[in-house]
Structure 1
Amino acid sequence: MKLPKYISNSKLNIYNPMKICIIGSRGFPGIQGGVEKHCEALYTSMCSQHNNIEITVFRRKPYITSSPSYKNIHFIDLPSTKIKGFETVIHSFFATCVAITQSPQIIHFHNIGPAMFSPLAKLFGIKVILTFHSANYEHKKWGKFAKLLLKGSEKIALSQADKVIFVNKFQLQKSPKKYNTKYIYIPNGIPKVSFPKNVNFIQSLKLESKKYILAVGRITPEKGFDLLIKAFSQINTDYKLVIAGGVETETGYLKKLQDMIPPLRIVFTGYTTGDNLKQLYSNAALFVLPSRNEGFPIVLLEAMAYQLDVLVSDIPATHLVDLQKKDYFKLDDENSLIKGISDKLQNITSRKYDLTNFNWDKIALKVYDIYHNI
């Protein structure tokens, strides 16, 4: 009797699966954040393609909205604070300790902050993989001490990891060369999209199809929504501006944004997902990404998948996709953003982009191969 390939050619099979623990995401589904979207797409795709793997995702209880059943994916939910600066440290420490008791072959840390505890995993002979999503210490929201802690975490993470996955090739090129044999570039992927016929959500917001500009992201200063609102307020147009994103600790920043422009011209939807988010994308006239800092913006890929015309800040992360010169405005330059929006609104058009390099199934296969080889 000939055994199936995954049994005959590998020590790891469905009866002795690879056990992988995931630390660094707040969890999924229905939890806001790029890392959260990344993990949900990556691991659901990976487990749909392979039987010989068990994924354990450590989630943070204050953010959990549901616990659906996924093939070969298990959740361990741990208490966590929402206090900025403490949330990641406290949760990552407890998650690492609990993960060690699960005896996994690999602990996969997502981002440099959680990976400060990777030496604990190595102490128990567990392999470590790091996905470097962004250089968090570049975010203006962090104080001096937090930035020093994050830079220290980066050094620990890069030195301890058996493999480092960068979603941003420019960040890879900036990272210390002495660890470059561990480095690999694997970008974020594009989610599967659908164009809903229903428009009840945008109608509830008093929006008209193709008569609004859309921006999507967490309400934090590095996303640049203050700059976008300033620029939009200077443009004489009957288009509305829609900002879809939730606020966590930056409530003062949200209040500042809400006070900047008359409410009839701007709509804050809060954190939006599922069919409601699909409605926002598929009925928008233009997508704008005003970010000051990004790792790899999944929301930009989503907008491109919905064939939207786009206008993005000129930062390294937005050059990871193939855009035209007219799709960029100068970073933090209000006049450049005003001109970019005004020019785009004069010729609203749908676009088709080549997104073949951003297929989640192919990305999941690459990460799976890393697990298998490690």
Structure 2
Amino acid sequence: MKITILQGAFFPVPAVKGGAVEKIWYKMGIEFAKAGHNVTHVSRAFGDMPDEEVRYGVRYIRVRGYEFPSSLVKIKILDFFYTLRALRKVPKDSEIIVTNTFWAPFILRRNKGRKVYVNVERVPRGQMKFYKHVGMLRGSSPVICSAVQKELSEQYHRLVTFVPNPVPFSLTNNAHDRNKTILFVGRIHPEKGVHVLIEAFSILSAEAAKDWQLVITGPWETSEGGAGEEYKNKLMLSAKNLNVQFTGPVFNDEYLINQYSQASIFCYPAQKGSGDAAPVAPREAMACGCVPVVSTLECFRDIISDGVNGCIYDESSTNQAHTLAKTLQPLMQDTELLQTMSSKAKLISEIYSTKAIANKFLHDFENIRTTNNSSSIS
């Protein structure tokens, strides 16, 4: 098959500036090429990356993009102009066009529109009803698939397909002695609950918190999806007298794997309304045996079973920080419990390997191609 992956205006590929979606599709493109398919990957130009190159059997084309703005309106405007430029680079003989851009499905119509495989990573906000002409609408979690279907009349529910996100790196040997570390990896933003995590860490009993540290990894700048300097400064003030380390953003897979493999607990207290629908970081952590502690958002239910391979706390409780602290404390005090959960968490790497998920995508692509080849509409 001739597959084109068209990504958005703000993050380059490879994901040297972050971007979970870009990281995933970079890995998927390579897997498709390994399977013998012709793959073109169009993304934002960045730094000294060449405008065009071939790596690992994938042809990469890069076009001028933008730094991530703070305004939603600006995001849509900039994405529109970027998409117009990027679509000129999509090979005319593409049989499948995978995209997570907002505008590409609007612009690509008729025969081209039927080739579009829309990658939906967040709960949609009304745009799905304008995508009824595409080949498929892929939700990365059951929650997203349900939300997509709610925006469509029943006759178009057939367009919706569920393919989970993979663990976007290969683990050769992640056997490490674990530190007494609670790790957060994600955007430094209130909707991720970073302030709740720091408060919970501060109220843990001296016995439970003895020798433990909290490591917070992720971007705080608005250009990288963070909440900005004011929020970062508030967090640092809250953590002033605590054993808390802020590492800043980390985009190197090897470094991240090392962090996940050495930490004992991965805490991701995403808040209601955060837009999280299929976060990648908890999967990455679990694959490395780092036990996840997450909120009750539905997006975690297909990968985390409370008390089995992780823990779930109620973020809607009256005193959320106390509730989170009470959830963390038993894990911090019971080494045997941590080891048992860690072993079960690691199993996710087999179910969500890049190769296994790539095969699911290729199955969808073949269905689109077969449907298009049997259609007489041009």
TM-score after normalising by structure 2: 0.78
Query: 1:68 Cα deviation (Å)?
Result: 8.0
Partners of 2:76 and 2:106 in 1: CA distance: 17
Q: Which residue, out of 117, 124, 127, partners 1:129?
A: 117
2:364 is aligned to 370
Change (3 A) 1:166 1:337: same
289-298 or 318-327: which moved more? Answer: 318-327
Kindly indicate whether residue 98 of structure 2 is the aligned counterpart of residue 108 of structure 1: yes
In structure 1, the residue matched to 2:40 is: 55
In the alignment, the residues of structure 1 paired with residue 173 and residue 5 of structure 2 have an alpha-carbon distance, to the nearest angstrom, of 35
Measure the CA separation in 2 of the matches of 1:156 and 1:255: 41
Change (3 A) 1:342 1:194: same
Where does structure 1 lack aligned partners over 5 or more consecutive residues? 1-11, 13-17, 137-150, 199-207
For residues 1-374 of structure 1, the aligned pairs below 5 Å read 18-24=2-8, 26-29=11-14, 30-50=16-36, 52-61=37-46, 69-84=55-70, 85=72, 86-87=74-75, 89-100=77-88, 102=90, 103=92, 104-110=94-100, 114-122=101-109, 125-126=112-113, 127-135=115-123, 151-157=125-131, 159-174=132-147, 175-176=149-150, 177-178=152-153, 179-190=156-167, 191-195=169-173, 210-235=179-204, 236=206, 237-238=209-210, 239-249=212-222, 250-251=227-228, 252-262=230-240, 264-272=242-250, 273-292=252-271, 293=274, 294-325=276-307, 327-332=311-316, 333-348=320-335, 349-350=338-339, 351-353=342-344, 354-355=347-348, 356-374=350-368
Does the aligned pair in 1 maintain the 2:295–2:312 contact within 8 Å?
yes
Matched to 1:241, the amino acid is L
Question: How far has the Cα of 1:304 moved from its partner?
Answer: 1.1
Deviations 1:212-252 (A, max 9, x none): 11111121222111111111111132311001112231222
Q: Find the aligned partners of 2:312 and 2:238 in 1 and give their Cα distance.
A: 24
Say which SS state the counterpart of residue 125 (structure 1) adopts. helix
Instruction: Write the distance in 2 (CA, Å) between the matches of 1:318 and 1:193.
Output: 22
Structure 2 counterpart SS, 1:115: coil
Say which SS state the counterpart of residue 117 (structure 2) adopts. Answer: strand
**Structure 2 CA distance for partners of 1:259 and 1:117, relative to 1, 3 Å:** same
Q: CA deviation at 1:125?
A: 3.2
Deviation at 1:61, TM superposition (A): 3.1
Identical pairs, percent: 21
Q: Secondary structure at the match of 1:269?
A: strand
For 2:97, the aligned partner's letter is I
TM superposition shift of 1:302? 1.3
Runs of 4+ in structure 1 off by over 4 angstroms are: 62-68, 194-198
For 2:109 and 2:214, how far apart are their aligned partners in 1? 49
Shift of 1:106: 3.4
Q: Distance in 1 between matches of 2:80 and 2:45?
A: 10
CA-to-partner distance for each residue in 1:102-153, whole Å, 9 max, x for gaps?
A: 323333221xxx23342211157342111110126xxxxxxxxxxxxxx243
Whether the aligned pair in 2 keeps the contact of 1:214 and 1:288 (CA below 8 Å) is: yes
Q: Is the 1:214–1:242 contact (alpha carbons within 8 Å) kept by the matching residues of 2?
A: yes
How many residue pairs get aligned? The number is 330
Give the superposed CA RMSD: 2.8
Task: Tell me: CA distance 1:41–1:262, structure 2 relative to 1, closer, same or farther (3 Å).
Answer: same
Query: One-letter code of the match for 1:345?
Result: M
Say which SS state the counterpart of residue 112 (structure 2) adopts.
Answer: coil
Code of the aligned partner of 2:311 = D
TM-score by length of 1: 0.79
Per-residue deviation at 1:34? 1.9
- The one-letter amino acid of 1:279's match is N
Q: CA separation of 1:324/1:101 partners in 2, compared to 1, >3 Å: closer, same or farther?
A: closer
Query: Deviation digits for residues 180-217 of structure 1, max 9, x if unmatched?
Result: 1101110011232244689xxxxxxxxx9512111111
Deviations 1:246-282 (A, max 9, x none): 2231222222211211165111111122332222111
